[in-house]
Structure 1
Amino acid sequence: MGSRIPGMGRIALVICIDGVVIIPALALLWLLNDLPQIPSDLGTLSRQTGINIYADSGELLYTFNKSIEQVSIHEISPWFVQAIIATEDLDFYRHHGVSLKAIVGAALENMRHFRRARGGSTITQQIVKNTLLTREKTIARKIKEALLALQLESMYQLEFGAKAKEKLLELYVNGSFFGTNAYGVEDAAQVYFGKPAANLTLRESAVLAGLPNAPSALNPLRGEVQKPSGRTQHVLRRMVRAGYISRAEYEDALKDSLVFRGKKRKQNRTPYFVETIKDEIAQRWGRSALSFGALDIRTTLDLQMQQGAERAVTNGLSDLDRRLGFMPYEMAAELNRERYVQSALICMDPATGYVKAMVGGRDIFVSYYNRATTSRRQPGSGFKPIVYLAGIAANLISPVSLFMDEPKTYRINRQNWTPRNFKNQYLGQTTVAWALTKSANSTSVQIVQHISPERVVDMAERLGIRSKMGPYPSIALGASEVTLLELAAAYGTIANYGYKVEPTFVKSIEDPGGRVLYRHRVQPIPAVSPSDAYIMIQMMRNVVNRGTGRILRRMGYDAPVAGKTGTTNDNSDAWFTGFTPDLVTSVWVGFDTRKGDRRLVSKKTGRQITGGSGAAPIWTAFMKAVNPATTDMSFWKPPNVRTVEIDPFTGEAIDSSMQPDSTRVLLRVALDTDGQPNTQLEIDAFRRTLPDTLDDY
């Protein structure tokens, strides 16, 4: 038995040796097989037609990633060339694509600072990263980058011989992004300093050479005029260390005056929309497409609607500034503008999901944060239609179902919870339809108790909400956070008679040759039945005509509208989301942070600014401009649904032939063919089964 052990040991040793050799070899083969192809025509790497973004009408909105003019190394200031080499790749003329010295040096410096203080990529590796790879930070990507850099250097050596390095450097400086939509050093020199790249001074060269590392964060227009930034000083010190400039020249450069007199670029008319398009490109093709891509993108944007949205938001926020006690926004210092009330708006076609207009905030130059697509906030009562629809779709409630709207206390996690109505005003005995019209919190919680929170979560997901939601009783009051886009999409599913479509900002993408790379296809998915959706639409129309959204009518908007207001209990968020037969629009107003005294409360009156008084006026101003009422505008009614007039407190049918009573409140509701208004017997039966005021949940 013992004699067999050495043999087994030799086998194990052979397996280990084979593993050491074979596994890395297989990994290398996989990486080589997965490597992007460097084009045989190396000139295609430098030909940049840019990314052109068009409105739905075909009008050009914005162009980026486009080098205005390519220049040779001999047409660039020597100061700039030396600054780039000293800063980015001191061994550029000595390595063959990868520098082990730079990698080791970067690793040691990063270990010394306990953070990523310096990268080890050569200029050739940066070209590869920008043109051929994604920006993901993985070991596999770094290995691919190194392999491709070695291949690229070899190809340039074969193509250009002694001028290979010169051509690689030209490719890098002509394709780098310098911020302010400037691509390439010639473009950057004109944009920032109004001069050719050949005439850049030492300090100007140092400023520009420091930008490709982080062009937005290092934007020199934000403080470089007063004194050299830390980045500029870093570039100059590297030039001293490399022997390109003397200490005296370094000191003179720091004292040199800097004047920005660049050419004014065409302004981005739809900045939040463009940034959203950039995100979509990055998700599909990687971040490298944003730096070196060449695409023609046809968006869903309606430019006239976008302009109407921006006017409505700007005017609405000016009014809110006044009510909240802020000085006019235009007069405020830039640092103070971050404290001002914000708003977001999104408008889409419910049948296609095409986003027609979007405002992500009041000023992208103060905050890039897109409150329409990224910010998750509590929608408050704006979530109630989803709660009610969950009950209707499960056939557990109808518009005439009866509840007792009164203070009720629930035992949750061994603590009492008593949800309150706005201003502590309760309806008493009420129908479901009237409770939604008046946004009664107590009834909404009772509905969730009756149908289960899990059904509400399921309905939210079916309608298109992707944010994580907990099946808790507070979901009845919109305590789970959603984005503005998600809520608009959910309402859009109702407006589309129960068919969900994915919201999209892009219709099609083509390459410069006209080849279609992507075309959006509308794919409706049934979420709820058309009859249930229409029943909900009619209930939400009552909100606008008789309830918390009636400000739309007071402001003169007469189109058929279904919608719902939403306001959070801490006065930090106010919403209105509503739709006509053509468009669904959602508006949010509030503060980016809930810290301190930033609340939606009128400084003069002390009254809460609600969804009805804060967000709905913006919604109305926008919709009046882009979707005015017409005689043929109406919601389609499914054949298996009928509308009846009821008493909102009992659910009894009101006979139109009866003598009219001016004191009696009437409410129009939709019922399916099996649904009936309440009879007196049903009303009496409900009253006999009223529960105690303390319920366990």
Structure 2
Amino acid sequence: MAKKKITQSKKETLDFTKYIRWFWILFLCGIIANVLLFLFASWGFLGEMPDHTKLENPETNLATEIISSDNQTLGKFYFNDNRTPVDYDELPQNIIDALIATEDVRFYEHSGIDGRGTLRAISKLGSGGGASTITQQLAKNLFTKKVSKNIIERLSQKVREWIIAIRLERQYTKEEIIAQYLNIVDFNNNADGIRSAARIYFGKEPMELDIKESAMIVGMLKNPSLYNPRAHKNPVGTKNRRNVVLAQMSKYDKLSESIKDSLQNTELDLNYSPESHREGIATYFREYLRSFMKEWTNKEENKKPDGSKYDIYSDGLKVYTTIDSRMQQYAEDAIAQHMPRLQAEFDNQNTPDRNKTAPFLDLTKAEETKLMNDGMKRGERWRILKNQGKSDKEIRASFQKPTAMKVFKWINGKPGEVDTIMKPIDSMRYYKSFLRPGMMSMDPLTGHVKAWVGGMNYKHFQYDMVKQGKRQVGSTFKPFVYATAIDQLQFSPCDSFPRTQITIEANKFGNPEPWTVKNSDGKYSGKQTLKDALASSTNTVTARLMNEIGPQPVVEMAKKLGITSEILPVPAIALGTPDISIYEMVAAYSTFANKGVYNKPVMVTRIEDKNGTVLYQFKPESKDVLSEEVAYVTVNLMEGVTQAGSGKRLRHNSDWLAKSSVYKEVMTGYPYELKNPIAGKTGTTQNQSDGWFMGMVPNLVTGVWVGAEDRAAHFKSIHYGQGASMALPIWGLYMKACYADKTLDVSDGKFEKPSELNIDIDCEARDEGDIGGTLGAEDEIEVDF
């Protein structure tokens, strides 16, 4: 019996030993399987794994950044990823504290994988939260990205993330991992990476983010779509998630309890500043720059070392421009302040009871129909439907069907848009009723363009009136005639000429017919000095100068001044018949301010790659055009325009504007009171279709144009339709803002006088019978064509 019990005990022991053996076999097999799993994953059998080179240089799309001369970001070029990386030292401590307290509290203790967190997640089957470290999340964002719903594939992805995380920890410091992670995250609304998120949601650079702003951004990391403050009419969820982050910061002693409680009771306080191609500052300039960059990347000498072209949307280039963000903003503000007022008066004159063909004037029904038909064929709608194979008849019919659309509108003095239902043909007429501005400002000494405004709203008016658009320049062309006469015949501003009518005979200068010139005010008696004639824009005096020198020398002078547009050598150019861009006019006028030296406008100073290597450095292009003496005398002539001509209102205060019977509806509220030396010229073309003002101080030349898309849309009267009331106010508002900003160095001094000046500019008192002299308020209504 005892023997049987012993035998049974041995058998039970043997059975137990078998279980232990199988346990260790399975355990060892599990270890081997896991080792093999990780080995296979590291060898790439479970999916592509990044090598050392890819870990060193992860493939991420980086936007090209456009940087102003005062080191502000004007905008970016990108397709899908609006990402501009920042270094760790550009991050505030509060965002680092928020990130670690919320996402990976043991970040500085592990080497890529948090063992405790992983075991917790396994034991709770993921119900207690994930175990991904910041490094693992970086690995996922960089190399595995899309999460599979298949359990086996997801396990494979997780293994790869673990291996990559360990490798990243070996490759980078903890600080570099934090920076990379925050740079790679998509925060929605084109906010790719921490820098874009800070700028778009709060209008700040990352270093400027305060605690609650940092907490909101870190809170979005859990689910950027769910906790997107723009996705909810009442962003309660985003605020609650932010408060969770604040609580975590308090829990881990990164924030006191009292501060936490205080911040949790605050609102999100967003300052939403979208970064899109059609919104933000300097939109027209940025579009010009896009063309510049595409042209630059296509040149053989600008290729990458491997022979491929740079991609302006993904290679992270930095483009340093001459635009000053402060001056650009003042320019845009000046346009936004003046244009709604001017537009309101224009609309008032074009109500159906006042103008049955509004916004057009002086058109027959046939001319109006042709204008609209031509507009249809030039439009985007026609092009798209034509590409779809639609017939002309079908396309025309589509213009008569009411369609839901957003249209531009001035709202409380600011550019905006409204939802409406309108026939496309009616929307064409609606947009043709808007007066449009163009403006460029340039430092004549360097050629650096400081401000560029091609219109009032790029989203709805995409034609750039700085460089693309060319319009008749009116009397702003006259200084070229005067400068040629001074250069060739040594005329003085004090030389007098009769105001009487003049006819340039047929065949002289190739003129096919006699050309009789009239003055806009109908006055022809007496004489005027050249200075007074330019100030009052007397056409007959300018024509007499043209009769003396001929049109060909004037054309040659304009070409030397940088005008590239076609100018026919006929006498009529004296009154500004050529179509010229603002870009060309500003550069030409800058030659006068720069003592006769022409500087080609500069917009880009250098281009760098993402590593800071300089790829392009601009080389100034300049040439001597006039003697310093002739340039100074021409400037002196143009100073008369703001002393006694149509530009004199730049000197006036609000009392004068209140008393003036003319312009007060549009001009009230514009007390410029500029007392410094200013040279300039107004310009108005036939039928008030184009209004110009070119204004100069010693280190800044600015040109402004205002007009409608079609010349048939214009003011009825010269009171509102001349350059002095359409364009000059924008110049005055802009300069007043520039002078108010003491961080800018805009000159308020005199134009430098040459050491040797042989031409007399100190004119004696005029006879009472002459029409020169100081003009009164009503006399300032001189038509500049």
> Is it true that 1:378 corresponds to 2:472 in the alignment?
yes
1:156 corresponds to: none
CA deviation digits over 1:377-420, x for unaligned, max 9? 11100010011101111135332334222222334455343222
2:146 corresponds to: 75
- How far apart are residue 345 of structure 1 and its match? 1.2
* Alpha-carbon separation, structure 1, partners of 2:528 and 2:686: 23
* Alpha-carbon separation, structure 2, partners of 1:649 and 1:451: 26
CA deviation digits over 1:270-300, x for unaligned, max 9? 2112112212212211396334443111111
RMSD: 4.0
2:757 corresponds to: 641
> Which residue of 729, 733, 758 maps to 1:617?
729
1:274 corresponds to: 286
* Alpha-carbon separation, structure 2, partners of 1:320 and 1:310: 15
With over 3 angstroms needed to count, the CA separation of the structure-2 counterparts of 1:421 and 1:585, relative to structure 1, is same
* Alpha-carbon separation, structure 1, partners of 2:716 and 2:462: 26
With over 3 angstroms needed to count, the CA separation of the structure-2 counterparts of 1:437 and 1:427, relative to structure 1, is farther
Letter in 2 for 1:536: T
1:564 corresponds to: 681
CA deviation digits over 1:434-465, x for unaligned, max 9? 21121111111221121111111111111111
SS state at 2:688 partner: coil
| Superposed counterparts of 1:440-519, under 5 Å | 440-519=538-617
> Which residue of 52, 57, 65 maps to 2:70?
57
2:462 corresponds to: 368
Question: Contact 1:77/1:199 (CA < 8 Å) preserved in 2?
Answer: no
> Is it true that 1:600 corresponds to 2:715 in the alignment?
yes
Letter in 2 for 1:639: S
Q: Give unmatched runs, 5+ long, in structure 1.
A: 1-39, 79-179, 201-262, 651-660, 668-697
| Superposed counterparts of 1:295-306, under 5 Å | 295-306=317-328
Letter in 2 for 1:515: T
1:585 corresponds to: 702
- How far apart are residue 518 of structure 1 and its match? 1.5
SS state at 1:633 partner: coil
TM (norm. structure 2) is 0.52
> Which residue of 435, 459, 467 maps to 1:341?
435
Question: Contact 1:567/1:610 (CA < 8 Å) preserved in 2?
Answer: yes
| Superposed counterparts of 1:396-475, under 5 Å | 397-412=491-506, 414-426=512-524, 428-475=526-573
* Alpha-carbon separation, structure 2, partners of 1:409 and 1:662: 24
SS state at 2:592 partner: helix
With over 3 angstroms needed to count, the CA separation of the structure-2 counterparts of 1:426 and 1:323, relative to structure 1, is farther
* Alpha-carbon separation, structure 1, partners of 2:550 and 2:445: 30
* Alpha-carbon separation, structure 1, partners of 2:486 and 2:470: 27
> Is it true that 1:325 corresponds to 2:347 in the alignment?
yes
Question: Contact 2:532/2:773 (CA < 8 Å) preserved in 1?
Answer: no
* Alpha-carbon separation, structure 1, partners of 2:340 and 2:71: 32
Letter in 1 for 2:495: S
CA deviation digits over 1:21-52, x for unaligned, max 9? xxxxxxxxxxxxxxxxxxx9899794432201
* Alpha-carbon separation, structure 1, partners of 2:284 and 2:148: 36
1:655 corresponds to: none
With over 3 angstroms needed to count, the CA separation of the structure-2 counterparts of 1:281 and 1:648, relative to structure 1, is farther
* Alpha-carbon separation, structure 2, partners of 1:471 and 1:41: 64
With over 3 angstroms needed to count, the CA separation of the structure-2 counterparts of 1:370 and 1:425, relative to structure 1, is same
* Alpha-carbon separation, structure 2, partners of 1:581 and 1:534: 11
- How far apart are residue 645 of structure 1 and its match? 3.4
* Alpha-carbon separation, structure 1, partners of 2:579 and 2:610: 41
2:453 corresponds to: 359
Letter in 1 for 2:754: P
* Alpha-carbon separation, structure 2, partners of 1:559 and 1:53: 34
Letter in 2 for 1:325: D
CA deviation digits over 1:179-203, x for unaligned, max 9? x97999xx9xxx9xxx99x999xxx
* Alpha-carbon separation, structure 2, partners of 1:633 and 1:398: 23
2:297 corresponds to: 285
> Is it true that 1:310 corresponds to 2:332 in the alignment?
yes
> Percentage identity across aligned positions?
31
> Which residue of 571, 576, 579 maps to 2:693?
576
CA deviation digits over 1:344-382, x for unaligned, max 9? 111111101111111110111101111012100111000
With over 3 angstroms needed to count, the CA separation of the structure-2 counterparts of 1:523 and 1:316, relative to structure 1, is same
The number of aligned residues is 449
| Superposed counterparts of 1:131-210, under 5 Å | none
Question: Contact 2:528/2:771 (CA < 8 Å) preserved in 1?
Answer: no
Question: Contact 1:429/1:649 (CA < 8 Å) preserved in 2?
Answer: no
With over 3 angstroms needed to count, the CA separation of the structure-2 counterparts of 1:562 and 1:632, relative to structure 1, is closer
* Alpha-carbon separation, structure 2, partners of 1:199 and 1:522: 47
CA deviation digits over 1:230-282, x for unaligned, max 9? xxxxxxxxxxxxxxxxxxxxxxxxxxxxxxxxx98435322112112212212
- How far apart are residue 608 of structure 1 and its match? 4.7
- How far apart are residue 562 of structure 1 and its match? 0.5
* Alpha-carbon separation, structure 2, partners of 1:665 and 1:593: 36
* Alpha-carbon separation, structure 1, partners of 2:645 and 2:721: 16
Letter in 2 for 1:623: M
With over 3 angstroms needed to count, the CA separation of the structure-2 counterparts of 1:564 and 1:632, relative to structure 1, is closer
Question: Contact 1:433/1:648 (CA < 8 Å) preserved in 2?
Answer: no
- How far apart are residue 607 of structure 1 and its match? 3.5
SS state at 2:711 partner: coil
Letter in 2 for 1:609: G
With over 3 angstroms needed to count, the CA separation of the structure-2 counterparts of 1:77 and 1:372, relative to structure 1, is farther
* Alpha-carbon separation, structure 1, partners of 2:544 and 2:191: 58
Question: Contact 2:700/2:747 (CA < 8 Å) preserved in 1?
Answer: no
* Alpha-carbon separation, structure 2, partners of 1:631 and 1:566: 24
With over 3 angstroms needed to count, the CA separation of the structure-2 counterparts of 1:72 and 1:338, relative to structure 1, is farther
Question: Contact 1:497/1:533 (CA < 8 Å) preserved in 2?
Answer: yes
CA deviation digits over 1:455-504, x for unaligned, max 9? 11111111111112111111101111110011111110100010111111
SS state at 1:627 partner: helix
- How far apart are residue 631 of structure 1 and its match? 9.8
Question: Contact 2:699/2:747 (CA < 8 Å) preserved in 1?
Answer: no
Structure whose alpha-carbon radius of gyration is higher: 2
Question: Contact 1:329/1:337 (CA < 8 Å) preserved in 2?
Answer: no
* Alpha-carbon separation, structure 2, partners of 1:408 and 1:332: 51
* Alpha-carbon separation, structure 2, partners of 1:371 and 1:631: 27
- How far apart are residue 325 of structure 1 and its match? 2.6
* Alpha-carbon separation, structure 1, partners of 2:568 and 2:326: 39
State which drifts further: 412-421 or 272-281: 412-421
With over 3 angstroms needed to count, the CA separation of the structure-2 counterparts of 1:648 and 1:477, relative to structure 1, is farther
* Alpha-carbon separation, structure 2, partners of 1:76 and 1:423: 78
SS state at 1:450 partner: helix
* Alpha-carbon separation, structure 1, partners of 2:497 and 2:769: 25
SS state at 2:288 partner: helix
Question: Contact 2:688/2:721 (CA < 8 Å) preserved in 1?
Answer: yes
Letter in 1 for 2:499: D
SS state at 1:325 partner: helix
> Which residue of 483, 489, 497 maps to 1:395?
489
* Alpha-carbon separation, structure 2, partners of 1:561 and 1:379: 20
- How far apart are residue 517 of structure 1 and its match? 1.3
Question: Contact 2:527/2:771 (CA < 8 Å) preserved in 1?
Answer: no
With over 3 angstroms needed to count, the CA separation of the structure-2 counterparts of 1:77 and 1:389, relative to structure 1, is farther
